[in-house]
Amino acid sequence: MSELFEENETDANVEDNKRVRRRARPTSPSAHVQVTPIPDPQDFPAPILTEPIDLEPEGHGCCGYLFITLAFLFYLILFPLTVWFSFTVIQSYERGIVLRLGKLRKQNGSPILGSGIQFLLPFVDKMMKVDMRTVTVNIPPQDVLTRDSVTVGVDAIVYMRVIHPAQALLCVQNWSVSAEMLAVSLLRTVIGNYRLGELLSYREQIDAKLKKQLDEATVAWGINVSRMLV
C-alpha cells in the first residue's frame, strides 16, 4: 500500500510540474510588439496666420497730389542736380516696389518693378527691393522632447524663396527671420508627436509634413518653401 501511495504522489508531482512549466512558458515575442500607426499630417495643422493686407494702391488726396506737383516742379528747377537722385538700378535677380508718399505705386498696371533702370521722383518715391533667389536657412540643433519622453537634438535645412515681392515687403517686417522662427516652432511641434524609433522610420514623411505646414503658414508673406530637410 505504501508503494502504491508513493507512486500516486509521484504522478501528482509530475502533473503539477507540467502545469507550472506550461504557465511559465514564454510567449511569442511578436505578442508584445505594439504597432504604432503612422501619424496623419492632418492631425497637426499649421498655425493660422492673419490674412494678407490689401496691396491695392489708393489715391493720395488733394494734399498728396499738391505735394507731388511741387516735388515735380522742384525736380525741374534743379534738373542738373536732381537727375543723380532720380534713377536706380534693379538687378536681374531682384524685384522692387515703389512707395509714393507711403502708398504702393503702380507702373504699367503692376506694382512690381522688373530689372533695369527705374525712375524715382525725389522726396516722393521710395524704392524697396527684394532678392528673388532661393535662400538656404540652416536651423541649429534644437532639444526636442519626443512622444516617449526622450530628449533629442534635431536640426533642419529650409529652402525658400520670395514669389510675391509686394507681400514679402509689406506684410512682414523681415520675412527671412520670421520664416526661420516659424520653422523652429514647427520643428519642435512636429517632432514632439513622434517616438524616438519613428524619427528615422518616418523621416521622409516628417520632411513632407514640415514643408507643407511651413509653406501654408508663409503663403500670406509671399514666400514659397521648396524643401525642408530634417
**Mean pLDDT value of segment 30-45:** 43
192 and 118 both lie in a single domain: no
Q: Which of 63, 98, 131 is the last residue of a domain?
A: 131
Residue 21 located in a structural domain:
no
Instruction: For 58, list phi and psi in degrees, rounded to 5.
Output: -120, 170
pLDDT of amino acid 32: 43
**Nearest 5°: CA angle at 15, between 14 and 17?**
65
Residue 10 scores a pLDDT above 80: no
Counting the structural domains of the chain, the total is 2
Q: Which of 131, 151, 171 is the last residue of a domain?
A: 131
Q: How far is CA 100 from CA 71, 79, 117, in A?
A: 12, 20, 18
Residue 16 located in a structural domain:
no
94 and 146 both lie in a single domain: no
141 and 223 both lie in a single domain: yes
Residue 40 located in a structural domain:
no
Give the number of other CB atoms < 10 A from CB of residue 31: 7
pLDDT tens digits, one per residue of 146-198: 888 888 888 899 999 999 999 999 888 889 999 999 999 999 999 988 888 88
**What is the grid cell recorded at 7?**
507512486
pLDDT tens digits, one per residue of 96-140: 999 988 888 887 777 888 889 988 888 888 999 999 999 999 999
**Domain enclosing residue 141, as ranges:** 134-229
174 and 195 both lie in a single domain: yes
Residue 224 scores a pLDDT above 90: yes
**CA pair distance 30, 34, nearest whole angstrom:** 9
195 and 120 both lie in a single domain: no
Residue 220 located in a structural domain:
yes
Which among 122, 125, 118 has a CA at the least distance from the CA of 75? 122
- Give the domain CATH number at 161: 3.30.479.30
217 and 141 both lie in a single domain: yes
Residue 186 located in a structural domain:
yes
DSSP string, the chain: -HHHHHHHHHHHHHHHHHHHHHHHPPPPGGGGPPPPPPPPGGGSPPPP-PPPPP------HHHHHHHHHHHHHHHHHTHHHHGGGSEEEE-TTEEEEEEETTEEPPBTTBS-B-SEEEE--TTTEEEEEEE-S-EEEEEEEEEEE-TTS-EEEEEEEEEEEES-HHHHHHS-S-HHHHHHHHHHHHHHHHHTTS-HHHHHHTHHHHHHHHHHHHHHHHGGGTEEEEEEE-
139 and 225 both lie in a single domain: yes
**Amino acid, res. 194:** Y
